[in-house]
Structure 1
Amino acid sequence: MPPPFADDALAEPLLDRWLDDAELVAPRAGRDRWLREGSLLLRGWGEPHRRYHTVEHLHEVLAALDELRSAGHLDEGQALVARLVGWYHDLHHDPRAAAGSNEQRSATMARDHLHQLGVDDRVVDAVEAGVLMTAAHEVDPAGRHTPVLEGVHDADLWILSSPADRYAAYRAQVRAEYAVVPDDLFRAGRTTVLERFADRARIYRTAHAHARWTARARTNLAAELADLRS
């Protein structure tokens, strides 16, 4: 059964976005290689077992990064790197995998693929760091809160602040994606994950997201946690 979302409606515009960015970071690779990589990325995001980690999520992450760029948090170069993180951060996703292993695998794939395209080592390092950050959503334990890491952190968590109907759909998608997990274990695990965000003094790292997204995120988190605990 395919994901409950019209993936095809986003595939073409997403591929166009990828081609624009690939030309900037890997100009020598050429259009054929950009297309092959873009097609591989979209196939990954379109795997049939996915329900939440689909091209819809990718589209939302990129849109959130656009918003943060427009708000002045990211300059053009930083936004480009952040978008590359967005493309690769859930490229590998197995709901049965151990915590952190999906992000580790995705980071390895990002490093390998970007190197093969001829992307600068500094960009590859920054993309790898961004992908790994999404495992625990801790920007940097050493305190180096770069604009790229902060932007990716917030964009990946934009969904917590989504409108009520989108958040309800997100909840259903997450449950469907983890359908193999029994209800009691799912509720316990989901509660632990959401409490970690709800208990933070600050959910979002950037000034824009903190000001614009926090109130709705706390409302959504409180409502879902109340349901999980009932």
Structure 2
Amino acid sequence: MPDPDTPMASEPPGPVDDLRTRWIRTLRASRGTGAPDAPDVPDPIPYADDLLARWSEPQRRYHTLDHLTAVLDHIDVLEEDAEDPELVRLAAWFHDAVYLPDRSENEERSARLAERALPEAGLSPAATAEVARLVRLTVTHDPAEDDPNGQVLCDADLAILAAPPGTYALYTAAVREEYAFVPPDAFREGRAAILRQLLDLPRLFRTPYGTREWEGRARRNLESELAGLTELTD
């Protein structure tokens, strides 16, 4: 047995601890202080834990903590193209914070959550409004040419489309699990319509990196998935 007087080695931080640390760093930077919180500034940890709990809800199969982590990682890659990468990161935290697969207003409800939580957490009205705007932009993933923050968030959110084929297959399987309540024929029809809409876009990605590194692979994945769905309906 270990000596009770000998301190136990602490376990390395896990994914949730890492995400909590990333939230704290981003929130502090967004409200203008990277230093420890002043007494009159709300503790960032309860906000992190509320969001982490939301992203861990049992109805999620793709829109999980893994997806949140991936979007944040992709923002790290693209951050030089953003006007305010910290606000883009906050938008990533909120963009699917409210997620029920059978509802169509998830983005709007997520934006409203940001509008309630962020002023209380110490963000300015202007910063809060920008985060909420970015969250709502994920309905269409169609940022304007003069919207670098929107381009970075949308590219980071869609980066899964450019994953290697095996990872892309896991993504499509997880999406199907989230929509298990939809009959197979209806799901194939709806999914095929979404894929065609994406393929009809002149560009899936708007940042220079996304255009260069992700566009071609994403289109190949979308075309392959659409072909498979079409075969099943023929």
Q: Same fold (TM over 0.5)?
A: yes
Which stretch has the larger CA shift, 32-41 or 176-185?
A: 32-41
Give the match for residue 5 of structure 2: none
1:32 Cα deviation (Å)? 6.3
Indicate if the aligned counterparts of 1:29 and 1:118 stay in contact, CA closer than 8 A. no
1:25 Cα deviation (Å)? 2.5
Residue of 123, 129, 133 corresponding to 1:129: 133
Give the match for residue 81 of structure 2: 73
1:144 Cα deviation (Å)? 6.0
Which one has the largest radius of gyration? 2
Give the match for residue 73 of structure 2: 63
Assess, with a 3 A threshold, how the Cα gap between structure 1 residues 29 and 151 changes in structure 2: closer, same or farther.
farther
Indicate if the aligned counterparts of 2:42 and 2:122 stay in contact, CA closer than 8 A. no
Give the match for residue 158 of structure 1: 159
Give the match for residue 110 of structure 1: 114
Per-residue displacement from partner, 1:1-37 (whole Å, max 9, x unpaired)?
xxxxxxx942111111001112222456768620000
Matches within 5 A, 1:1-230: 9-26=14-31, 27=33, 33-69=43-79, 72-74=80-82, 78-98=84-104, 101-139=105-143, 143=144, 145-230=146-231
Per-residue displacement from partner, 1:120-161 (whole Å, max 9, x unpaired)?
11111110110000012121xxx4631101100100100100
The two structures, once aligned, show a CA RMSD in angstroms of 1.7
| SS of match in other structure, 1:62 | helix
Identity rate, percent: 36
Count of matched residue pairs: 214
| SS of match in other structure, 1:157 | helix
> Given residue 28 of structure 2, which amino acid in structure 1 is its aligned partner?
E
Q: Distance in 2 between the 1:29 and 1:221 partners?
A: 49
Indicate if the aligned counterparts of 2:24 and 2:44 stay in contact, CA closer than 8 A. yes
Q: Distance in 1 between the 2:63 and 2:192 partners?
A: 19
Unaligned stretches of 5+ residues in structure 1: 1-7
Kindly report structure 1 stretches of 4+ aligned residues shifted beyond 4 Å: 27-32
Assess, with a 3 A threshold, how the Cα gap between structure 1 residues 32 and 112 changes in structure 2: closer, same or farther.
closer
Per-residue displacement from partner, 1:84-142 (whole Å, max 9, x unpaired)?
000000000001102xx000000000110001112011111110110000012121xxx
